[in-house]
Amino acid sequence: MRGQPRILINTPEIELWPGGLLRARSNFDARAIARARYVLRRKRDGRFLAVDLPEGLLALVTHLRREPGLDQALDALESLHPHTRSGIEHVAELPLDRLEERLHALGLDGAYGERTGLPLVPEPDWLALAGFDRYRRPLWLHVDAARGWSHMREAALRDDVVLEAISGYRSHDYQLGILERKLARGLSVEEILTVNAAPGYSEHHSGLAIDIGAPDEPPAEESFEHTSAFAWLREQAEGFGFVMSYPRDNPHGIVYEPWHWCYRTG
């Protein structure tokens, strides 16, 4: 990983992860990923598709060439090579592909946005590594939010307050998976949507939102408001560009979320 940019390249169907940040189940995949510059990962289920090695692309699945979105992912990969591009300066938005398909899977349609007042949220075409979350997973954020989070976390530490990242960027497909797993546990769509926005409408898609926790506190619980971390955020977060998106009695039908903070770019 030395000398490589620590960025996640995002395309509508496939993510390109820097090598060394993913763990594989099979020995073959693990050996390939250990040598990879980038790993092509299918967004809808997390399947590893291929690795970019110094000697070229190595497929990890059969019929790789039939994979939806592969051409876009390979174009993005090519743009990263030093002889074609010196770096990434601008964050662009991905098209809102398959939005209706994801909503229909939950029995929803475009009226959901009108009813809740939640705007559609595109995914960025790349994200910065902002460290690791409480569970040692890579924390991906929009580059502006990543800088804001780093400065805010360091400032809190100087005041003897520990801020832990619980969750950052989530793709539309990942959000759909969260809702589907809760449905499988017997929760209704209506119950779930008071806690999780429908895919396409979550601030996490932008990479600007981060769920924040405190040591020894359960994640994403209202009890977070009684911690010194929340007290510090309430006084200091806005100075670093972060605001709490869902206070009590917010107009979107989302429960009070003292842990959810979003970086405002404007």
CA distance linking residue 207 with residue 254, whole number of Å: 19
Residues of the chain with CATH 3.30.1380.10: 128-263
* pLDDT at 135 > cutoff 60: yes
CA distance linking residue 41 with residue 228, whole number of Å: 38
Please compute the mean of the pLDDT values over residues 230-247 and round it to a whole number. Answer: 98
Question: What is the percentage of the chain residues whose pLDDT exceeds 90?
Answer: 86
CA distance linking residue 194 with residue 211, whole number of Å: 16
DSSP single-letter state for residue 15: E
Helix (H) or strand (E) holding 224: none
CA distance linking residue 251 with residue 103, whole number of Å: 21
Residue 147 main-chain phi, psi, to 5 deg: -65, -45
CA distance linking residue 70 with residue 11, whole number of Å: 9
CATH of domain 128-263: 3.30.1380.10
* pLDDT at 84 > cutoff 80: no
CA distance linking residue 15 with residue 50, whole number of Å: 11
Helix (H) or strand (E) holding 175: helix 172-184
More confident residue, 228 or 3: 228
Lookup: tokens for 4: 């490589």
pTM exceeds 0.85, yes or no: yes
Residue 111 main-chain phi, psi, to 5 deg: -65, -20
Largest CA distance in the chain: 56
pLDDT, tens digit (0-9, with 9 covering 90-100), for 201-224: 999 999 999 999 999 999 999 999
Say what the pLDDT of residue 243 is. 98
* pLDDT at 83 > cutoff 80: no
Residue 16 main-chain phi, psi, to 5 deg: -115, 110
- With cut-offs at 50, 70 and 90, classify the pLDDT of residue 97: confident
**Cα–Cα nearest to 182, from 44, 200, 190:** 190
Question: What is the percentage of the chain residues whose pLDDT exceeds 70?
Answer: 94
